A and B are shown apart, each in its own frame.
Chain A
Amino acid sequence: MSFTDYLFFPLFLIYAALYHITPKKIKWFILLAGGIAFYCTYGAELLPFAIGACLVAWVGGVAIGKRYEKFDAALSPEATKEEKAKHNAKAKKGAKGILWLTVALMLLALVFVKTQSWLVPKLFGEGRIPVMVPLGISYYTMSLVAYLADTYWRKVKAEKNIFKLLTFTMFFPKLLEGPIARYQAFEKQLSNPKGFDYITFCHGLQRMLWGYFKKMCIADRLSVFVDTVYESYKTEYGSMLLLATIFAAFSLYCDFSGCIDIALGAAEALGIKIEENFKQPFFSESAAEFWRRWHITLGTWFKDYIYMPIVINPRMLKISGSIGKKNKRVGKAFMSVIPLLVVWLLTGLWHGTGINYIIWGLYWGILIIISTVFAPELKKLMLKVTGLLKVDPDGAGYTAFKRLRTFVLYLISRMIVLSGSVMALGVVIKRQFVAFGPWKLVDKSVYGYGLDRPNFWLAVLLIIFLVVVESKQNKGVNFREEIDKKNIVIRWLVYLFAIFFVLIFGMYGGGYDAAGFVYMNY
C-alpha cells in the first residue's frame, strides 16, 4: 500500500487512534503488528526476507554481546593497561568474525536482490525464478548493519529482545524510502513511549500534508514533463532538455523529501521521532555541504561505517604514513581520496546497478575529492576572483552564486541519471551545445510535453512557492509553529485549504498515472 493510495490516510488515522489508546506497555506490539501488516500489502511472501535479516542481525548482536560480556567478566580488575588492551583485542577479534559473517549474509541478500534481473537468467535460465524485491531491503539492511557495527564497537548494547529489534526493522514509515534509522535513538522511544499529545499529533498530520503536497502537486506534475522530454531526447533541443533537467531536479527532491515528510509526519503523529533526511539542500553552498543536506542518513551511514573505518584502519595509516614521508600533502590526500572513492563508488552502486550510476557516484566523488584535496588552492582562487570582481565573499550575492553553482552541479548529476545510458548522456550534453534552440522555450512548444498551459505555469508557480518557503525554513522559521500562533479559525482555514489544494491540484486518479515513488525500489 503506497502512501498515495486513497485508503492509506484513513487507515493510518484509525491505526494512530488505536496506537494512542493502547497502554504503554503494549504499544510496541501495535507498532510491530502495523509494520508486518504494511509489509504484507506488498506481498506476504517477501516477509521472510525482512524477518530473516532481522534474525541474522539479532543472532549476531547477541553473539557479539555475549562474547564481550564473557571477556569483560573474565577480565580481572587488577589487569594492566597492556593486558586490558590485549584482552579486549582478543574479544574484538572474535566479535569481528561474527560481525563479518552476519554483515556478509545481509549484504549478500541485498546484492542478490539488486542484481537479480541479470543474475537469475544467467544462473537459472530465462524466466525460472520470479524477481523479488523485498520492501525496503536497502534501508533496513543498512540500519541492521549499522546496528551490528555499533554493537561491535560497543556503541550500543546488544538487543536481547528479538521483538524489539523486529519492531525497529519493520517500523513501517521508514520502510518505503527510509530514512536509514539508527537503533539507539529508536530503542529509547520503544522502551519509553510518549503519551498522546494533541499538538504533536496535529503537527505530524500537517507534516504529512506538506509531504503529499510536494509529491502530488509538484513532483508528479513535473515528472510528466520530464519524462516526455527525455523520451525523445535524441531530437529535443538542448534548451528543452535543460528545462526538463531543472524540473527533474525539483521533481526528485519533492518526490523523495515529500515521501520522507509523510514518513516522518506519520511517525510524529504516533509520537515517535526519526531522523531527518533533508535540510533545504538547494541552499547548500558546496558539493560537500549538499551531501550533508541531501539524503542525510545515507551520508552519515557511509561516513560512520565506510569512511571512518577505512580512515582509522591501521593498514591505511601505515600506507599513508609511508607516502607521507615522501610528500606530506600527497600522504594526507591519500587518506581522503581512497575512502572517498570507495564511499562514492558504493553510493553510486547503492542507487542503481548501471554504468550511469557508477559515473554518477564518481562524479560526486571526484567533485568532493577535488574540493577537499585542493581546498587551499580553491580558496586562493576564490579570493582572487572575488577580489577582482569586487565581490564580498561573505555577502549575499556571493552566497547566492555559491548556491546556484551547487544547484548546477546537482543538475548535471540529474542529467547523468536521467539519461539512462552513457550514449544518451553524451547526446544530451552534446545537444546543449550543438542544438540549444533557446527560442523553443518561448514559442509555446513547452505546452506540448504533457502539461498544458495552466498546468505548466502552476508547476512553475509551485516551484517558486517551494523555494520561498524553504528559504525561510533555511533561516530557521518553523511554519507549523507559526501557524499555531494564529487563531483557530485561520488555522483551520489554512489546513482545509491545503487539503483541498492537494485534492484538486494533485496529479492522481482519472488519467494521471501517479508516478511511483522514485526511491522505492531500493
Chain B
Amino acid sequence: MITKSKDNAEAKDIKENSVDIKAKAVKQELKKDGSSKNLKDSKESGSAETKVSAGGAFLRIVLFTSLFLVLFFFANKFFMPEISRQNSYVKRRNFYNEPRNTIETAVLGASIAFHSAIPMQMYEDYGLCAYDFGSSGQPVLASYFWLREAYRLHGESLKNVCMDVSILRKNEKFEWYEAAIDPMKLSLLKVQAVYEYNDDINDTITHLFPLFAYHSRWNSLAAIDFDRNGYAAEDYLRGYFFNTSTAYFDNYEYDEMEIPNFYPDYGDETVPFKTESLYYMQKIIDFCKEKDLNLIIYKTPGQGVGIPAHNTIQQLADKNGIPFFDFNFEPYLSEVGYVRPTDNVDNGHLNFYGASKFTDWLGRYLVEECGATDVRGKAGYEHLEKQLADYHERSLDVMYLRDAEDPVDYIRKTITNTGFSSFIAVKGDAATKLTKEQRAQFKELGLVKLAELKPYDSYAAVIDNGHVMYEEIVENPTKKEQMVEAGLEQDDESDYNMIAKWADDPDVSTIDQAEQLTFDDVRNAREIRFADPEDYIKLEGKLCDGTVFKVISGVSSEYDRASVHLEGVQSCRNEIGINVVVYDRVIGGTVDRAVFDTGEMSCRTGYDYENNLSEALEAGKSFSELSEELQKLYLYYRRSDAKRFIRQLRKQVGNTDLLTYLSEVIKQDRYVVFVMAKGKIGEGIGEKTRAGLAELGLNELSQIAEGDSYIALFENGKLIGEHKEAKFGHIAAAGMINPDEGVAEHIMYDMSSGRPDNTAAGSIIVDGVEYAGATRGLYILVWDTVTNMKVDIMKFDPKKTPLKED
C-alpha cells in the first residue's frame, strides 16, 4: 500500500515536474515571442528606444524638469486656501502692489489691530501714508517678520511702527501662523519666517509651498479655486477691515452683553507671557531701535487685557523706553471719546465708528509726536488719491446706506453699487404700509414681485452685481381663505381701507377712524386669526464670486422668520418688516443689516437707540413706558453702573469699613439692602462704628452683642425694619417687594437669623435662591429692584477682622 502511494506520489511528482517543465518551456516561448514581438513593434512604430545619447539625455532631463516646474507653479495656485482666508491673504498681497519706499507707518497686530487703524482716514485727515499688516490672531512672530518685510520694501520711508498688543496674553493656534505668513512672497525672509514657526525642515518646506501644505483640499476644491482673478481685490482699505455693525445693536442682546471690568485700580501684579511672544516682542523692539523707527504699542479701548497683563506690558515698555497707550485707562479713554456700546463690533474689536475715533487720535499723535509726513501732492504718492476716491465710493457708501430711511432708497443704493450683493427677506406683515408709489418704484428697480406684496406673504430676493437674481413670493393660502371668509376682497384702492377691514372693531367704517387705529392694534388683530401653514421660501445658491447664500422667508405665526445665511453665518435682523442684508463682495463681509417696518420709530443704528433712550428719559418716560429694546438698553446701563459702583466701593471698603459700605449702598436708587448676622459678630465692632450705625438709623445693630441674631431691610434708602434677638434667638422676616418699575412685578424675600434651638444660623433668600454663605459673618445683600438682580453679596467678619474705626 505504502509503495503504491509512494509510486503514486512519485508519479504525481514526476507529472508535476513535467508540468513545470512544460510551463517553463511555454513561458520561454512566450518570452521569445514577446521579445520578437518587441522587435516587430519597434520596427513598426520605432518608438521603444534602446539607447539615448548623453546630450539627448541632458536635453530631456532639462525639458522634463522645466515642464514639471511650470505645472508645479500652477498647482500651487490652485490649492491655496479657501475664500474665507482669502480676505487676509488678499489684503496682504495688495501690499506688494504698493510703490516701493512710500509707506511711513506700519500697524501690526492681530484682528484687533486691523479693526483699529484706518490708513485711508489717516491719509484723508493728515496726509499720512500708512499700512495695516494685521492678520487674524497674528502671533508676535508673524508681526516681527511682517515688520521685516515692510522694512525690506519700504526701508527708506518707514518711520513709525504701531502695534496692538492684545495677542501677548494669548496662546496662538498653528493656523494663525499659517494665515499670517502664507501671503508673504517667497523670499529668504519668508523661508526664515516659516522655519522659525516650524522648527523642522520638512514642515518648513511644507508651508513654503501651498501645494504641499494644502494638497489635502483635493476633496473640497471648488470652481473658485481655479478662478483667482474673479475675486477682484481692492487695495484702498490698505489692510483695514471695514465693519460698521455695532455690538449692542447688531450682534448681541443687551442681556447677553458683557459688562466691562472697569479699571479704576491699578495694582501691582504681573503675569508671565509666553516665552516665544516675549522673545519676538523684544526682537521687534530691538529692530526698531536698530533701524531708528518709532515704536508705539497700544491696546484699543473696549476690552482690557486685565490689570496684571497691563502691568507686565507697561514694565516691558518702560524697560525699553517705548510708549504704551492702554486706551482702557484715562486720560486716553476720554481723549479717544470711546463709547462702549456703539463703538464695538463685539467684545473686543472696534467697529468703524470706534476705529474712526481711534485713528483720529493716532493720526494726531503721529503728526505731533512723531513728525509724520504729509504726503499729499507729493510725487510718487498719486496712487493714494485714487485709493481715497475708491474708499469713499466703496466703504463710506455704507454710511450713506444707513442714512436711508426709506426702503426703496435703501435698496436702490444697494443695486447701484455693483460691488454689493443684497438679500431681502420679509417677516410678518411688511405690506400694509407700503404706498403705491413705493410699489411702483420697486417695480422700476426690478423687484416686480415685491411690488405686489400683500400682508403676510413670504418674500425673498437676491440682488447680485446690480441686478435682481432671484425673487420669490408665496401667498399665504390660509390667509387668503380667511380673507375670503371674512368677506374681504383684495382692494388696492387704499391702504387705510385695508386697515379698517382687518380690525376687529365693528365700528370702524370711516377712513378717519381707521387712521386712528395704531398699527399695533391692527397687527394684534391679525395674529389672533392665523394658523401656521408652512409656506416658506428658501433661496439657495452662489453669488457671482462663489459665496454660498441661503435666504429664508417664512410667514406664519409659528415659523414666521426671515434669515439670511452667508457661508453658513446668519446675519438677518429677523424683525417684522422688510429685512435687508447687504454684503460687500469686495471686502468679503456683511456691511449692513436693515429692517424697514414703517410703523416703528426709526432705529437704524446703535446710536439711534442711545439717542432714543436719552430722549425718552429726558421726556420723563418711566421704565415701563419704554419700548422693549430701549428697556433692554436701560437695564444694561443699570447693570453696568452697578458693577462699576460695587467695584469701586469694594476697593475702597476692603473687608473692614462696614459703615462706608452700608451708607453707600443704602443711598443707591431703587436698591433693596438686606442685612443679616450669622454667628458671633458682636466682637470687633468698635465704638465709632456703632455710633455711625446708630446715625444711619440702625439702632439695634449699633448695640449688637456676641451671640445676637440680627436682620434688617432697607428699601430705596428707607429702613423698613430691623430686629435683634439675644442668644441666637430665631428671628425671620418674609415678604414681597413690589417695585414701581422694573423687570419683575414682585420680588419675594425670606430672611432669618438664629434658630429655634438657639444655634447660630442665617439666610437671605430672594426669589427662592439663597445668597448667604455658610460661614460666620454679617451679610449684606444688595439688590437692584429694577433689573431684579443681585448687585453684591458682601460679608464682614468682625471677629476675624475687626472693623475699621476711623
Contacts and interface: CB of A to CB of B under 8 A. Distances in A.
B75 A486 contact: no
Contacts, number: 87
Given A476-B30, A500-B75, A503-B211, A455 B206 contact: no
B50 interface: yes
B696 to A, nearest CB: 67
B71 A500 contact: yes
Interface stretch (A157-165, A294-302, A505-513): A505-513
A486 B47 contact: yes
Interface of A: 5-7, 196-199, 201, 376, 379, 452-455, 476, 481, 484-487, 492, 495-496, 499-500, 503-512
Contacts of A509: 202, 206, 212-213, 215-216
B57 A504 contact: no
A196 B54 contact: yes
B73 to A, nearest CB: 12
Nearest to B214: A510
B362 to A, nearest CB: 37
Contact of A199 (B50, B211, B212): B50
Nearest to A201: B57
B75 A484 contact: no
A496 B201 contact: no
A411 to B, nearest CB: 28
Choose among B75, B212, B215 the residue with the greatest number of A CB atoms under 10 Å from its CB. B215
A197 B27 CA distance: 28
A381 to B, nearest CB: 14
A487 B47 contact: yes
A499 B68 contact: yes
Taking chain B's interface residues, is the majority helix, strand, or loop, or is none over half, making it mixed? helix
A244 B638 CA distance: 62
Contacts of B60: 198
Contact of A455 (B27, B34, B219): B219
A6 B202 contact: yes
A510 B48 contact: no
Given A496-B71, A500-B75, A510-B214, A484 B48 contact: yes
Contacts of B9: 376
20 contacts: A5-B201, A5-B202, A6-B212, A7-B205, A197-B51, A198-B51, A198-B54, A198-B57, A476-B30, A476-B31, A476-B34, A492-B64, A503-B75, A503-B211, A503-B212, A505-B215, A509-B202, A509-B212, A510-B212, A512-B216
A376 B219 CA distance: 54
Nearest to B78: A504
B562 to A, nearest CB: 34
Contacts of B12: 379
Contacts of A492: 64, 67
B15 to A, nearest CB: 12
Contacts of B67: 492, 496
Nearest to A195: B54
B518 interface: no
Contacts of A452: 219
Given A484-B48, A500-B71, 11 more contacts: A5-B202, A198-B60, A199-B50, A484-B49, A487-B47, A505-B218, A506-B215, A508-B206, A510-B212, A510-B215, A510-B216
Interface in B65-85: 67-68, 71, 75, 79
A505 B49 CA distance: 32
Nearest to B218: A504
B769 interface: no
Nearest to A454: B219
B701 to A, nearest CB: 64
Interface string B20-31: 000000010011
Contacts of A196: 54, 57
Nearest to A484: B48
B202 A485 contact: no
A504 B41 contact: no
Nearest to A514: B202
B528 interface: no
B47 A485 contact: yes
Contacts of B212: 6, 503, 508-510
A511 B175 CA distance: 11
Interface in B56-108: 56-57, 60, 64, 67-68, 71, 75, 79
A485 B219 contact: no
Contacts of A201: 57
